Amino acid sequence: MADDEKKSLLYKLKPITDRLPAVTKPEGHVHFRTKMTWVILILVLYFAMTNIMIYGLETSGNLDLFAQYRAIMAGAQFSLMHLGIGPIVTGSIIMQLFTGAKIIKLNLKDSDDKAMYQGTQKFLVIIMIIVEATPQVFGFLEPSGKFIASMTGVLPFMSGDSFARLIIVLQLFGGSYLVFLMDEVVSKWGIGSGISLFIAAGVSQAIFTGSLNWYPLNEAIPMSIDNPPVGTIPKVIYLWTNYGSTDVISGGYERIFLQNPNPLIALIGTIVIFLFVTYAESSRIELPLAHGGARGARGRYPIKLIYASNIPVILMAALLANVSMFSMLFWQHPSFMNWPILGHNWQVGMYVSDPTSGNLRVVGGMAYYLSSVNGVGDWLLPLLSGSYLGQYNAGLVDPAWAKSTLQISLHVIIYAGVMIGGSVLFAKFWIETTNMGPEAVASQIESSGMQIPGFRRDPRVLRRVLERYIPVVTVISGAVVGALAAGADLIGTVGNASGTGVLLAVGILINFYEAIGREQMMEMHPVLRGFFGGE
């Protein structure tokens, strides 16, 4: 380990990080059945939390700052999971950027430094929960009048409104930190990553309801041609059986295939994304391996095209969600509007109220060009048709806010470019911080007794061979997942899951399936645990 004088300044936080609640790591091997039991229990708890609404919160009229990123953030609107995995991923982004830029001097190959890195990240998650929860509650999430009245006079030095909002902040804090501990349970006692599991669960739920929901768009009035079922499949069946032949020709096809909610093209796009990601996940380079002590024992080390997995896209989605949230706060939050340069500056982000959803809609500034694109209705149709461009700009009070085809085209190009470039950057950082680089993989292969046929059994030789592939594949991996995410968002998906969400869910489920296969293999052949990094 490094000498005391060379230790990072983060070690001053050690008295705090050592006392933070944590999940104990298992001392030995955890059996496959036990791991699956923990995964199922955590999933049940996750879905339970998404259905527990925040106590005391007004049920209508509140704004959801994460509305367009809700599926990716693995949260549920106005529930204990309102913040979702946002604070966890944001803390991870900050730590990766600071470590990659050498602002934080930690050697992640050293056990003490790695423990300090993880402890600091946990402390940072707590800070981010407060940073994300407090401005929302004291600006956009209004407590109910009844709840405020019941809190009035409880604390003599605090008004009923402030105390009610403090209670809501504490609920969000408790829910978000519990999510963090649930992620640790899955990582240490289960299979895979809890964050990934929650994203896949949330997106799968959104796709299921978006495809099969048979309730009408407006439940207050009877189902009709103008009020069809919400789900894609019931909607198509209902409209197809109730339209006359002239209605189908005059506008029925357009309504079935293109009109929200959940048009048929979105279901087709979801299936296409699923098949394409499955194909990309199966593409790999396989290095031949042979066991140095057992003649005839051979294997292969796969370097997948999606080498960095879908983590770079998760980090990029969380980063863009934070850009959206803070730009919205700076535009109209009472405490942020008066900040110099950033406060109420249209160049940062300009928002108007959307009459259809009730949420704020970004119409200008940096936040507009970095906002996600949700299907063909957000870009392709306005570019092809003047009538759709008029619908796209409908509801804008000031005609100066209306978008031209050039601005819409720039939005698509900038969003796709940022997703691809950011994913490449995070892929490189992720490989460096998770022992997936050439040196770490070479050491892992060497310690398992394997070697590349025709080369000396030496980690340095292995490293030189792996350096021909891993750095290049890492960049390609980040670019591919970024391009897939952006392309998926452009096509659109059912259930408002977003193309990025579907991309993540498919990749996560494939990786989870492969992880289950590795666990079963290690259960049958304990000697393989060392090679796969098991206990």
Q: Would residue 343 count as lying in a domain? A: yes
Q: Reduced to 3 states, what is the DSSP secondary structure of residue 397?
A: coil
Please check whether residue 501 is in contact with residue 186, taking contact to mean a CB–CB distance below 8 angstroms.
no
Task: Report the distance separating Cα 10 and Cα 113, nearest Å.
Answer: 9
The total of other beta-carbon atoms located within 10 Å of residue 16's CB is 13
Q: How confident is the model at residue 148 (pLDDT cuts 50, 70, 90)?
A: very high
Please check whether residue 464 is in contact with residue 458, taking contact to mean a CB–CB distance below 8 angstroms.
no
Q: How confident is the model at residue 5 (pLDDT cuts 50, 70, 90)?
A: very low
Query: Residue 430 belongs to a domain with what CATH number?
Result: 1.10.3370.10
Q: Would residue 353 count as lying in a domain? A: yes
Please check whether residue 264 is in contact with residue 232, taking contact to mean a CB–CB distance below 8 angstroms.
yes
Give the total number of structural domains in the chain.
1
**Domain boundaries, position 390:** 30-197+284-532
Task: Report the distance separating Cα 371 and Cα 320, nearest Å.
Answer: 7
Question: Rounded to the nearest 5 degrees, what angle is found at the Cα of 380, between the Cα atoms of 377 and 384?
Answer: 115
Please tell me what DSSP assigns to residue 450: E
Q: Would residue 234 count as lying in a domain? A: no
pLDDT for 36: 92
194-212 helix and 264-282 helix, angle to the nearest 10 degrees: 150
Instruction: Give the DSSP H or E segment for 209.
Output: helix 194-212
Q: Under 8 Å CB-to-CB from 178, ≥6 apart: which residues? A: 49, 80
pLDDT for 2: 43
Residue 488, both tokens: 């998926």
With helix as H, strand as E and coil as C, how does 121-176 read? HHHHHHHHHHHHHHHHHCCCCCECHHHHHHHCCCCCCCCHHHHHHHHHHHHHHHHH
> Is 70 exceeded by the pLDDT of residue 525?
no
Q: Would residue 186 count as lying in a domain? A: yes
Query: Which single residue is written with the structure tokens 């199966």?
Result: 282
Q: Would residue 277 count as lying in a domain? A: no
Q: Which one has a higher pLDDT value, 202 or 531?
A: 202
Q: Would residue 238 count as lying in a domain? A: no
Q: Would residue 422 count as lying in a domain? A: yes
Q: Would residue 114 count as lying in a domain? A: yes
Residue 51, both tokens: 């259905």
pLDDT for 4: 46
pLDDT tens column, 425-478: 999 988 887 778 888 888 877 777 777 777 777 778 888 888 888 999 999 999
Percentage of the chain with pLDDT > 70?
A: 92
Q: Under 8 Å CB-to-CB from 384, ≥6 apart: which residues? A: none
When pLDDT is averaged across residues 83-104 and rounded to a whole number, the result is 83
